[in-house]
Amino acid sequence: MQIQDLLNEGAALASKVDLSKVLAIVSSAVTALPAIKTLETSAVPYLEALEKVLAGGTPTDAEFAALDSRLDTGSATLHDAAAETDPNAV
């Protein structure tokens, strides 16, 4: 396919969609990215620990301690977030 064909096809597609809706969706997704990355990063250790014990492994004291540490960090984050003031509150 020639470049001009691609451009024509792109223009035809663009004419069929509501660009404002597309932009709103993209904008929202970009805004959510930091949260998605946070979830990926914080959830992985729990998933890995679960995979180990579900495969028959026995949790060690060190793994319990690491689990406590992760949960305490998450709790501190939630506690701090709960103390924030919503600037948009009416």
Partner 1 sequence: MLTSLIHALTRATMFLAVTALAGCAVFQNPISQTTAFEVINGYGLAQSVAVAYTKLPFCAAGTHASGTSYCKEQSIVRKLADADASANIARRALEAFVHNPANYPGLTYAGLLGAFQLAVTTFSKIEAQNGVH
Binding site for partner 1 (CB under 8 A): 24-25, 28-40, 42-47, 49-50, 53-54, 58-59, 61, 63-64, 67-68, 70-71, 74-75, 77-79, 81-82, 84-90
For the CB of residue 51, give the shortest distance to partner 1 in the complex, in Å: 10
Residue among 7 and 46 whose Cβ is closer to partner 1: 46
Q: Which is nearer to partner 1, 10 or 57 (CB)?
A: 57
Contact 38, 73 (CB under 8 A): no
**What's the closest the beta carbon of residue 8 comes to partner 1, in angstroms?**
25
Residue with the two structure tokens 């180990």: 52
CB of 39 to partner 1, least distance (A): 4
- For every residue of 6-67, DSSP letters joined together read HHHHHHHHHHHS-HHHHHHHHHHHHHHHHHHHHHHHHHHHHHHHHHHHHTT----HHHHHHH
